[in-house]
Structure 1
Amino acid sequence: MNAARRVPARYLVLLRDWLNSQAVDTAAILRMAGIDAAKFDRRDATLDPPEMEAFIANARRLTGRSDLGFELGRLIKMTSHDLLGYGMLSCRNIDEVMRMVTRHYHLMTETFTMRYHRDPGGRGETVYTPTIAMPLETLRFYLETIAVAHDNQVRLMLGNAGGSYDVYVTMPAPAHVARYHALAPTRFHFEDRSPPGVRVVMGPAVLEHLLPFADVHLARDIDRRCGSLGQRPPATSREWVDYIRMTIRQAEGEAPTLECIASQNRVSSRTIDRHLRRENFSFREIVNQVRFERACELLQDSGATVAQIALRLGFSDSANFSRAFRRAVGVPPSAYRQKTTRKRNASSQDPFPPRG
C-alpha cells in the first residue's frame, strides 16, 4: 500500500522554507533523504511514503529537534491546500468546512483518512486515521502536524471569537508539551493507546461560527471541481481490499455501494469484484467486517447509545442493528458493551495484572 499513497510536496515546502529561516542546511537534508530538490519547485509534485520518512528522519537528525511536526502544523493554513483551501474559505461556517474537507481529504494526503459527524446534541467529532503502516517517528510527526494544523486553521476561521474544544492525540505527551498548553483555549490530550490517530471534538458554538468570505455558489463550484479530481485507484488486488475497507470505514450512515465506488474511481464494478475475489473477499463481506469492527469500537469508546450507533452505521433501526450484531459477534450490543466495560475497569483497578 505504501507505494500507492502520496503526499503533496507543497506541505514539506512550508517546513523546508521555515528550516531555511532557521539557518538549517535543507539541501543537505534532501541529499541525505535521496529526494530530487526540483520536486520542491513544482506545485503539483508529490512525495511517496519512503521519501516522507527519509525527509522527517534526516531533518530531525540534522536539527536535533523533536517538534518538527508541531512546527509544520503551525505553518499550515487554508490557502496551503490549493483549490480545496479556497473552497474552505468560501463555506458558510466551520461545520460546512469540515464536511467539504472530509469529502476531499485525499487531496491533502493519502496517508491518512478523515471522518466527521455530529451527534444529536450538535457536537462534532473529527477523526484522522492512518491508512498505512509507518515508523513510529514518522507517525508521531504526522499526528502532531494534523493536530496542530487543525487547531491553527480553526483559530484562523474563528478570529477573535474564541471558543474552546478538545483534541485527543494517541501518543505520549511530547517533551515540548508546554507548547500545546500555550495554544489554550484549545485543550490537547495525549493518550498512549491504539489505534493511532487524532480525534477532535468541537461544540455547536465553534461549528456554527459564520465565516466572513462565505460564497455558497463558489463553494459549490469548488466542491464539484475537487470531486472531479478523484483519488487515484489502487493498482493491485491487495490494495483494492485495503482501499474498500478504508472507504467503508470512513463513511457515515449507509455504506457506499460497489457501483458508487467504481464510478468514483472510473472503473467497472466487475473490475473491483474481480480484484476482491483474487484475495478471497466479496464486497459484502468487507462491508460487514468493517461495520462490526466500527460497531465494537463505538460500543467500547463512545458514549453514544445503541440507537445512535445503529444510525451511524446505516441500519434502519436499533432492532435490526442488534440482531445483525448478535449474529456477527455472538452477543447483543448492550452485553458486549457491559463486558468490555467490566474488563477495562478491572484492568485499571489491578496494579499487577496477570501476564500472558
Structure 2
Amino acid sequence: MTEQTILASDLRVITRYLMSVGIDPAPVLTAAGIDSSALSEPRGRVSAQQVEALLTRLVEQFPDRNLGLALANHHHMTDTHVLALTAIASASGLDALRRLVRYQALVSTQEPFTITEDAETVTLSKTAVHNDTAEHLVQVFVFAVILTAIRNIAGFTGDLTGIAFTGAPQGPEADYRQHFGPWVSFASGEANMTIPRAVLEQPVSTGNVDILTANEPLLASLVRAVRENNLPAKIKLAILDSLPDHTLTEREAAASQNMSLRTFQRRLEDEGTRFRALLDQTRTERAESLLGDPACSLSEVGYHCGFSEQASFSRAFKRWTGKTPSDYRKALLAPDH
C-alpha cells in the first residue's frame, strides 16, 4: 500500500504558531518523527500518519484553544508554492477553488476534498481521513484559510450560506461564528462549506493568464509525480523544471537522481521506458496543454516546450502526435469537441 503523504512546507504554520507562544518547534516536530529540515524543501513530503500524531499532540497540549483558527492566522499562501500562486492567478474565485481541488494531491495524497456546484451555491466538502481530534483541527484550518483567501481575492464580505464540522467545537463557539459567520453547525455527518456562487464567479484583479500558462503543466506533472512516486514521473518533472530555458540531457537527469548514467538507463529500462521517450512525452503533454489556451501563440507554445524556432517545434509536434500544432489546436477548440 502506498504511503499517504503531506506537503512538508504546509507545516510551517505550526512552527510559526509555536514560536509565537514561546515554544521551540524543533522538539515538538522530532517527537512526531518529523525532520524539520523537510519544511524548507519546496517539494519535501512527510507521512500523513506523522502529521496526524503531531496535530493530536498539539490539541492535547492546548486543549482550550481553537488551534484550527490559530494556525490559519499563521498561514502564508507561499506555503503551498506553485499551487497557491496559480490559484491566485485564476480568472475568478470559482476557477481558483476548482484548481485547489484538482491539484490537491500536491498538499495531501489523501485527496479528501470534493466540490459540488449548482445554480446558486458552490459547496466544498471534506472526507474525514484523520482521527477525530486531528480531523476537526484540519477541517477548521483548511476552511478558514480558503475563506480568508476568497475574501481577499474576490472581495467577499458577506456570510457563507453554511458551514458544518463533523466534530464538537474546540474552544468557544463564538470564535467560529466570528470567523465563519452565523451559520455554523457541529457534529454533522459531513464537513462542508457552502459559498454563494455569484460571489465566486466575479472576476478577480489577481487573474493572470501568463502565470496560468506557465504553471498549469507544472502542476499536472507535480501531481503525477506525487501520485506515482516512481523514477519516470520524477524525471518528467525534472525535464519540466528545466524548460523553457534549458532542455535536460540524459546525463543531467541521471545526476539529478544521484545515479551513474548506466544505472539510470537500466532503472528506466526496468520501468519499461527510456529517457528520450520521457523527454518527448513531457514536451508533448506540455504542448497539448498550452495549445488549449487560444491566448498562447504557437511560437509561445514552442518556446515553453524548449524550442527556439517555431518550425522546429512544428516538426517535432507532428512527429509526436501526427498533427501540426495548428491542426491540433483547431480540433481541440472546435465547438463540438
TM-score range, shorter chain: 0.5 to 0.7
Q: Is the 8 A contact 1:88 1:100 kept in 2?
A: yes
Residues 167 and 187 in structure 1, CA contact (< 8 A), matched pair in contact too: no
Gaps of 5+ in 1: 236-265, 268-356
What TM-score results when the alignment is normalised by the length of structure 1?
0.58
The one-character-per-residue Cα deviations of 1:70-127 (angstroms, maximum 9, x if unpaired) are 22223335333210111111111111111211210111222342222321x2421221
Secondary structure (helix, strand or coil) at the match of 1:170 reads coil
Aligned counterpart in structure 2 of residue 215 of structure 1, from 204, 208, 220: 208
Runs of 4+ off more than 6 Å: none
Aligned residues between the structures: 230
**Conservation of the 8 A alpha-carbon contact between 1:169 and 1:188:** no
**2:120 is equivalent to residue 127 of structure 1:** no
Alignment of 1:240-319 (within 5 A): none
**What one-letter code is carried by the residue in structure 1 that aligns with 2:106?**
L
Q: Distance in 1 between matches of 2:62 and 2:158?
A: 35
Alpha-carbon offset, residue 41 of structure 1 = 3.1
In structure 2, the gaps of 5 or more residues are 230-270, 273-337
2:148 counterpart residue number? 152
1:168 aligns with 2:164: yes
- Is 1:190 the counterpart of 2:185? The answer is yes
Instruction: List per-residue Cα deviations over 1:250-303 (Å, max 9, x = no partner).
Output: xxxxxxxxxxxxxxxx99xxxxxxxxxxxxxxxxxxxxxxxxxxxxxxxxxxxx
**1:33 — aligned with what?**
32
More deviation in 140-149 or 168-177?
168-177
Tell me which amino acid in the other structure corresponds to 2:199.
Answer: V
Amino acid at match of 2:71: L
1:226 corresponds to which letter in structure 2?
A: L
Displacement after TM superposition at 1:14 (Å): 1.7
Identical columns (%): 17
Structure 2 Cα separation of the partners of residues 32 and 176 of structure 1: 29
Q: Which residue of 2 aligns with 1:180?
A: 176
Residue 262 of structure 2: aligned partner? none
- How far residue 38 of structure 1 moved from its aligned partner, in angstroms, is 2.2
AA aligned opposite 2:148? N
Q: Over residues 139-162 of structure 1, what are the superposed CA-to-partner deviations in whole Å (9 max), with x where a residue is unaligned?
A: 112112122122121122133x52
Q: Equivalents in 2 of 1:109, 1:44: separation in Å?
A: 12
Which range moves more in the overlay, 70-79 or 144-153?
A: 70-79
Aligned to 2:21: 22
Whole-angstrom distance in 2 between the partners of 1:64 and 1:25: 19
**1:224 corresponds to:** 217
TM-aligned CA deviation for residue 35 of structure 1: 2.3
Amino acid of the structure 2 residue aligned with 1:54: A
Q: Indicate how the Cα distance of structure 1 residues 103 and 169 shifts in structure 2: closer, same or farther if over 3 A, else same.
A: same
| Letter matched to residue 207 of structure 2 | A
2:57 is aligned to 58
Other structure's SS at 1:4 match: coil
RMSD: 2.6
Tell me how far 1:229 sits from its aligned partner. Answer: 1.6
Matched letter for residue 114 of structure 1: F
Which deviates more from structure 2 when the two are superposed, residues 85-94 or residues 44-53? 44-53
- Tell me the secondary structure at the aligned position of residue 47 of structure 1: strand
CA 1:154–1:125 in structure 2 vs 1: closer, same or farther (change >3 Å)?
A: same
Q: Separation in 1 of the partners of 2:64 and 2:111?
A: 24
Normalization by structure 2: what TM-score? 0.61
1:25-59 alpha-carbon deviations (Å, 9 max, x no partner): 32231232232232233232211122112222333
